[in-house]
A and B are shown apart, each in its own frame.
With several copies, the nearest count.
Chain A
């Protein structure tokens, strides 16, 4: 049996400085934080972060100065507010932003899948997004005569996805917040799936697989791989850790925040484990 299973070090190693990283998950849910922390540990830099939304996980990358360019429609900690490292970097002009909207991302990845350079979208005209996205040209519809912005094809080079469970071929179950993980995996040259657990091939529940093995290159087992963002239904959002992040970033430094992250993660998971055994979080 061939297997794509490897250690997190091995999986992240091939990523090159300057590449475009597709970030799986959405908002503060099922973000690939373990893979992100490994990226920081390996000292990669000059990356472009690409995501439908970006949040805590990419704020860490910015705090660590690993990311110099972001492409997203929404960079936010959702109800927790603005991401501190990102805000600081933007306001200091220390990061490049390509303003996206949900349509420029959605149509852009569909264009990339189809192998064409652009697709038209019914959006943007009249807004200042077009003023700052000087790369976006316009195109006339040969049938209606309407003028559309020509949304450029967009694709990640590498992609990080965190899953509930995966097999050694990379077939994986996401649980919720599918976002654009399926497309990111399919479009990337190199896709890593981290999973709460790796299960034998053939044992994933039929019809419930979200990511197919054919779109995956490396599989890594990491418990708590999306903490402090959630991994539904295994564990919920650790909101108190996000509050700690906001507070630490206000009063202390980013490096200080990283201290003892692993042990806080372990205690959260332990707490959840105990409660799941009591049947209190989600009865599955």
Chain B
């Protein structure tokens, strides 16, 4: 069996946070999260119900990941099609939904940035925008953050632009709307897992092969160590890896979240050509 990659460790850990009966939101451009949901459904959480942002559906139906045929996965066999206004303004704030959200930058209070790197008026990189994260962070007590590259560029002392609020000073202003249940719960990176408390991020678990020293070096914000000791996260089981690699995501679509620039484009092209070939093969 091939060596375990970082994306696989993350997927398996995130999968462990899903329980059967959960109602999960699969967002936009996050195949890593999707892999985790599907893995949970294939193993210990068979009764997961999905809200698919692509397709705009509520579904209990799943298939292997795809880029070309993602809508086929989310729409075929769905329970219900909804409008985004219903999904975001009615369902998400009313029901207990679980989500994983990926910020471009995050600080020790769980404040996130998906708007710009650099100065807002003259950005170095314009990012996609806040999406619904601002809102979800304000009213959903049941979501986690994750980043695919543990670095001082991502885990920062101060976000360049705060597009969603965690704890600390900014949360006080948020609380002017009435005390909210809570902010983000955990922050998962490709090295470790923090949990958030009102005082900031607390390291609670590390992936196999990581060290606290290394993590400290690559983290742009200060953090405490969990009082209960740091958990060593078990590597994925062979069964998990088999399901993930062979059934859920044989083309490695989840890895796109870890790639940038030309590497990402090449990987995309490879996947698309492969999907094209498979379709022709089945024709």
A–B contact, 8 Å CB criterion (strictly below): yes
Within the complex, the shortest CB–CB distance from B3 to chain A, in Å, comes to 25
Cβ–Cβ contact B163 & A182, under 8 A:
no
Cβ–Cβ contact B89 & A106, under 8 A:
yes
In the complex, besides A125-B176, A128-B115, A186-B91, 15 extra interface pairs with C-beta distance below 8 angstroms are: A2-B21, A73-B131, A78-B29, A79-B268, A87-B126, A103-B132, A116-B177, A129-B134, A175-B75, A180-B84, A186-B95, A206-B77, A209-B80, A214-B49, A243-B269
CB < 8 Å neighbour of A177 from B56, B90, B91, B115? B56
B residues less than 8 Å from A107 (CB atoms): 89
A residues less than 8 Å from B139 (CB atoms): 115, 122-123
Cβ–Cβ contact B79 & A209, under 8 A:
yes
A residues less than 8 Å from B280 (CB atoms): 275, 280
Closest to A168 in B: B47
- What 8 A-B pairs come out closest when comparing CB atoms? A102-B132, A280-B283, A126-B170, A76-B128, A209-B79, A90-B126, A214-B23, A126-B173
Q: Does A15 contact B (CB under 8 A)?
A: no
Cβ–Cβ contact A126 & B174, under 8 A:
yes
Docked pose: A110 CA to B89 CA in angstroms: 8
Cβ–Cβ contact A126 & B47, under 8 A:
no
Query: Would you list 18 pairs from A and B whose C-beta atoms are within 8 A, ordered by A residue?
Result: A1-B47, A27-B54, A102-B84, A122-B93, A126-B170, A126-B171, A127-B163, A128-B115, A128-B163, A177-B56, A178-B83, A187-B94, A210-B80, A212-B58, A212-B80, A233-B71, A239-B268, A282-B72
With contacts A90-B126, A110-B85, A207-B80 taken as known, whether A129 is within 8 angstroms of B163 at the C-beta atoms is: yes
- Would you list which residues of chain B between 53 and 94 have a CB under 8 Å from chain A? 54-58, 60-61, 67-72, 74-85, 88-91, 93-94
Q: Does B4 contact A (CB under 8 A)?
A: no
Cβ–Cβ contact B29 & A91, under 8 A:
no
Q: Mark A41-59, 1 if CB is under 8 A from B, else 0.
A: 0000000000011000000
A residues less than 8 Å from B124 (CB atoms): 91
With contacts A72-B129, A127-B162 taken as known, whether A79 is within 8 angstroms of B31 at the C-beta atoms is: yes
Q: Does B10 contact A (CB under 8 A)?
A: no
With contacts A79-B268, A128-B163, A281-B279 taken as known, whether A114 is within 8 angstroms of B60 at the C-beta atoms is: no
Cβ–Cβ contact B83 & A179, under 8 A:
yes
A-B contact count (CB 8 A): 257
A residues less than 8 Å from B96 (CB atoms): 214
Q: How large is the interface on A (under 10, 10 to 19, 20 to 34, 35 or more residues)?
A: 35 or more
Q: Does B209 contact A (CB under 8 A)?
A: no
Q: Does B197 contact A (CB under 8 A)?
A: no
Docked pose: A252 CA to B14 CA in angstroms: 41
